[in-house]
Amino acid sequence: MDAQKEALRRIISTLASKNEELQNFLEAVDHTLTGLQEESCKVMSDLEAELEKLNSALEEKGAELRYIIKEEKQRKEVELQVETLFFNELFLSGTLYFLNYYLVLVLHIYLLIVFKVIFSTLVTMAPAFRLTTRPAASDNMSQFTVDFSTERAGLQRLHFLPVPRAPQIDASSCVVRDNAITVTWRPPGEADSGGDSSSRPIERYDLEYRKMDRDSTLRVAGEACWEKVCDIIEPQVTISGLKFDSRFIAIRVRARNKAAAGEFSEPIAIETTAYNFSFDASTAHAELKVQGDTVTWEPQGVKGHDPRLRGKENKSSSRSATPSPNKTAASRGGRDRFAGESYTVLGDEEMTNGCHYWELRPLADWKSFSVGVAYRGSLGRFDQLGKGTGSWCLHASQWLQSSLAAKHNNRAKTLDWPLPHRIGIYCDYENGDLLFIDVDRLRLVHAFKTKFSQPLVPAFTVWCGGITIATGLQVPSFMGNFLTTNRSLSSLSP
């Protein structure tokens, strides 16, 4: 009977998984149809815009040629009109008047003498008469004849641009390191790029990536949008500054020639596991404000900034007060908020194996903070970090004077090191290593060596000021140098 129940559970589980995959596939098809409509509208709009540009260019060229012909026509007309007016005036006002004058003399004076004068005058004016036999401008306009046969043939050959085919991502050459991903791909060869794309070589690549919750391109974390990296010249790019808050990152790439982009490659999923946690606000001291990755100390109506006075008042009031049924309880451990002098808040993700890394930055107005790890069940409401056997921390203070110390089991070791502005915390659960790194100087501040026996959580204490944390970080490559020397360092562990 139990075997049949187990078989039935497996069948149900398989059906549920297949149903989910089918649902995701249908959503992907619907998304593709929507994208197809949007893309077709875009390319149609681009086509209309290009045709409009072509028509505009033809109109501009036609107007330019018409203007040239019109200008030449007007120039020749002006020259011919000026020549006509000049010689008409010359003829009418000069020659006719001259002949008329001497013909009158013929009638009144001596005929022989007059004809001799007329003959001499006509011989003198002969060059002027010869000028009128040839116009200054011709009626020939054949130099403005155009032949658009080549252009018409070019227009008839117009077609969509050849686009390169999708590159192929080389998954074996992709590298994940220090919250950066180096992606390498093989460009499409000339035989794969189609048409005469050899005349339009690949000029750029576009890469897109998005976070995923499973090793499937159909399962996208929170329906995340594709992030873009454009105008890549080489067939390789490094995406840096990533927060690995999902298990996988899907990556795809496409090639682009001078004017068109090809299809995206088949997406590949790259694993990006890292330690992610948030502040467990239900454990936070009442005077700590948790907001995202930041915790700030906000006193509630008590004058003065001395935490010892505030702790005594809070402790006495908490001992005498009757617990309210509506009081918020902490998660997982069923414990109340930290109180008294313990301005503490815990992380919400346990560490039971493996290596983990996160970072802390104090805000500009900070006075005192502690950062470390603790057994969740070992801290009482009024316990401070480093005071018992179940917590390890680095304590920094610039209240009255600057100090830096490592604390565990109510013992403190003063550290001769400047107050860091960025602290990296590394925890190797199996090997019992807890390291604090000055990230800006890349120096090891302190290392604990112990044997963890219970689930650990990140732990923080903030008084006067605030801190912010960075999670979703891989163990940095520089940690290897510190781990090799860790065994030679002193430890406060019992």
Helix (H), strand (E) at residue 191: helix 190-193
Q: HEC states along 386-414?
A: CCCCCEEEEEEECCCCCEEEEEECCEEEE
489 vs 59: which has the higher pLDDT: 59
Q: How is residue 62 written in tokens?
A: 């036609």
Average pLDDT value for residue range 255-279? 90
Given a contact cutoff of 8 angstroms between Cβ atoms, the answer to whether 171 and 268 are in contact is: yes
Average pLDDT value for residue range 26-36? 84
pLDDT band at 27 (very low <50, low <70, confident <90, very high): confident
Q: How many CB atoms lie within 10 A of CB 362?
A: 22
Look at residue 328 and tell me whether its pLDDT is greater than 60: no
Residue spans per domain, the chain? 1-155, 168-188+203-271, 280-298+336-491
Which pLDDT tens digit goes with each residue over 309-327?
Answer: 444 444 444 433 333 333 3
Q: How is residue 350 written in tokens?
A: 């346990």
Given a contact cutoff of 8 angstroms between Cβ atoms, the answer to whether 368 and 396 are in contact is: yes
The region that residue 211 occupies, defined by phi over 0 for left and psi between -120 and 50 for alpha, beta otherwise, is beta
Look at residue 178 and tell me whether its pLDDT is greater than 80: yes
- Please choose, from the candidates 185, 294, 306, 167, the residue with its C-alpha nearest in 3D space to the C-alpha of residue 235: 185
Distance CA 360, CA 295 (A): 11
If one looks up domain 280-298+336-491 in CATH, what number appears? 2.60.120.920
* Residues in Cβ contact with 398 at an 8 Å cutoff, skipping those fewer than 6 apart: 366, 367, 368, 419
Look at residue 73 and tell me whether its pLDDT is greater than 80: yes
Distance CA 158, CA 298 (A): 70
Q: How is residue 334 written in tokens?
A: 């069923």
Read off the pTM: 0.65
Q: What is the pLDDT of residue 160?
A: 74
Under CATH, which architecture does the 168-188+203-271 domain have?
Answer: Sandwich (2.60)
Helix (H, G, I), strand (E, B) or coil at 140: coil
